[in-house]
C-alpha cells in the first residue's frame, strides 16, 4: 500500500542518515576527514535524532527491511574494518556494525534497541575521548602510546574489547540480550548468523588491542621514563571509560 511505501522510503532515508549498510559509503570517508572531537559528535550526537524517529515509528517498520539492513551492516561493519590502518575509519565501520545490531532487533523490541543504542553511545564516546587524549589517529601512533599514557592505553584496550562485546565488559550486555530476544522470537538462524558475522569485527578489535599492548615500535625510547609535561586530568574521559567497562552488572532482566 501507499503508506507502506512511504514508510519504507522514510526508513531508508533515516537509515542512510545513520550510516547503515548498504547506505554507509559516506560514513568512513567523512569520519576519516575530520578531527577526533568532531568524529565523536558525528558518531554519537548526530545519530540521536534519526534513531529517535526510528524508535517512535518502530511499529510501522518493515521487518524484512530492518533485518536485511541490520544483517548487511553487521557484515560490512566487520568486513570493512579488517584491512584498515586508520583508527577513525575503523571506528566508522565499528559504528556501522553496532547500529546493525540496534536496528535488527528494533521491530521486535524497541526498548532493547534503545538500551543498545545508549550503550553504543557510551562506548563510542569513551573510545573517541581516549583517542583524543592520546592524540592518535593511526595504528602506528597507537603502538607508542603506552610510553606516554600507560594507564589510558590499557583502558583503551579494554574499551575496544568492550566494543567487541566480550564479557565481563559493558558491550557484552546488549549483544547477549539481543541474541536472547531473537531466540525468543524463534529466529535462531538469524541469531546464529549475526553471532558468527560479529566475529569479523572481533578480529579487528583484537588486532588493535594487540598493537596497543603487545607490540613495541622500532623507535620506542629504551628508557621507561620519557620527558613529558605534566598530563592534564581528564575527568569526563575517566568517567566515560568506567561506564564503558563496568556496566554489565546493571543489565536489565
Instruction: Give the DSSP letter string of 61-103.
Output: S-HHHHHHHHHHHHHHHHHHHTT--BHHHHHHHHHHHHHHHHH
Buried b (16+ CB within 10 A) or exposed e, 130-166: bbbbbebbebeebbbbbbebeebbebbbbbbbbbbbb
| Nearest of 133, 125, 151, 123 to residue 212 by alpha carbon | 151
| Nearest of 156, 151, 159 to residue 231 by alpha carbon | 151
Return the axis-axis angle of helices 150-164 and 188-214, rounded to nearest 10°: 170
Give the three-state DSSP class for 114: helix
**The pLDDT of residue 158:** 93
- CA 41 – CA 44 distance, rounded (Å): 5
| Nearest of 238, 221, 97, 89 to residue 154 by alpha carbon | 238
Is the Cβ–Cβ distance between 99 and 47 less than 8 Å?
yes
Q: If you count DSSP H runs as helices and E runs as strands, how many of each does the chain have, helices first?
A: 12, 0
Is the Cβ–Cβ distance between 24 and 89 less than 8 Å?
no
Is the Cβ–Cβ distance between 245 and 158 less than 8 Å?
yes
Give the three-state DSSP class for 136: coil
186: preceding bond cis by omega (within 30 degrees): no
pTM: 0.90
**The pLDDT of residue 4:** 83
**The pLDDT of residue 34:** 92
| Nearest of 253, 241, 221 to residue 123 by alpha carbon | 241
Of all residues in the chain, what percent are helix, strand and coil, respectively (each to 5)? 75, 0, 25
- CA 143 – CA 176 distance, rounded (Å): 31
Per-residue pLDDT of the chain (253 residues; tens, 9 = 90+): 667 888 889 999 998 999 898 888 899 999 999 999 999 999 999 999 999 999 999 888 889 999 999 999 999 999 988 888 899 999 999 999 999 999 999 999 999 999 999 999 999 999 999 999 988 888 888 887 877 788 888 899 999 999 999 988 999 999 999 999 999 999 999 999 999 999 989 998 998 888 887 766 555 555 555 555 566 778 888 999 898 899 888 888 7
Amino acid at each position: 500500500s501507499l503508506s507502506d511505501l512511504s514508510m519504507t522510503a522514510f526508513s531508508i532515508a533515516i537509515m542512510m542518515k545513520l550510516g547503515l549498510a548498504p547506505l554507509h559509503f559516506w560514513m568512513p570517508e567523512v569520519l576519516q576527514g575530520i578531527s577526533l572531537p568532531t568524529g565523536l559528535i558525528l558518531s554519537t550526537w548526530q545519530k540521536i535524532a534519526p534513531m529517535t524517529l526510528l524508535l517512535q515509528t518502530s511499529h510501522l517498520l518493515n521487518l524484512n527491511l530492518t533485518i536485511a539492513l541490520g544483517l548487511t551492516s553487521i557484515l560490512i561493519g566487520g568486513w570493512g574494518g579488517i584491512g584498515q590502518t586508520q583508527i577513525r575509519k575503523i571506528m566508522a565501520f565499528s559504528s556501522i556494525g553496532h547500529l546493525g545490531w540496534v536496528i535488527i532487533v528494533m521491530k521486535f523490541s524497541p526498548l532493547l534497541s534503545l538500551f543498545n543504542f545508549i550503550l553504543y553511545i557510551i562506548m563510542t564516546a569513551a573510545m573517541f575521548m581516549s583517542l583524543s587524549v592520546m592524540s592518535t589517529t593511526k595504528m602506528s601512533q597507537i603502538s607508542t602510546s603506552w610510553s606516554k599514557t600507560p594507564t589510558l592505553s590499557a583502558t583503551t584496550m579494554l574499551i575496544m574489547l568492550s566494543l567487541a562485546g566480550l564479557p565481563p565488559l559493558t558491550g557484552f550486555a546488549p549483544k547477549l540480550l539481543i541474541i536472547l530476544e531473537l531466540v525468543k522470537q524463534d529466529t535462531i538462524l538469524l541469531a546464529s548468523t549475526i553471532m558468527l558475522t560479529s566475529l569479523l569485527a572481533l578480529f579487528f578489535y583484537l588486532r588493535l588491542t594487540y598493537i596497543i599492548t603487545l607490540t613495541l615500535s622500532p623507535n620506542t625510547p629504551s628508557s621507561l621514563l620519557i620527558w613529558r609535561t605534566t598530563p592534564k586530568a581528564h575527568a569526563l574521559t575517566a568517567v566515560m571509560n568506567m561506564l564503558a567497562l563496568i556496566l554489565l552488572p546493571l543489565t536489565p532482566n
